[in-house]
């Protein structure tokens, strides 16, 4: 099988799989963990990221 045919066949298979997963409706009862994660994450305070004390000043362009 040459490369253009392989790429075309792969694209058709991928497009079909994506279309099938887009059309197929999944009930929310199949994923009960999503509700638990979403509820526990909403109750927690956001975590602040550490900030550097002296941020490095870089030139706008390295080509100069």
The model's pLDDT over 9-34, given as tens digits with 9 standing for 90+, comes to 999 999 999 999 888 887 777 776 65
* Cα(35)–Cα(42) distance, integer angstroms: 11
The confidence score (pLDDT) of residue 4 equals 93
Instruction: Write down the pTM of the prediction.
Output: 0.41
* Cα(9)–Cα(12) distance, integer angstroms: 5
CA of 27: how far to CAs of 17, 35, 38, 39, in Å? 19, 13, 17, 19
The confidence score (pLDDT) of residue 59 equals 66
How many residues are listed for the chain in this entry?
64
């Amino acid at each position: 099988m040459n490369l253009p045919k392989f790429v075309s066949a792969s694209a058709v298979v991928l497009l079909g799989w994506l279309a099938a997963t887009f059309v197929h409706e999944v009930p929310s009862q199949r994923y009960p963990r999503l509700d638990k994660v979403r509820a526990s994450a909403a109750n927690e305070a956001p975590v602040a990221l550490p900030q550097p004390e002296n941020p490095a000043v870089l030139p706008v362009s390295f080509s100069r």
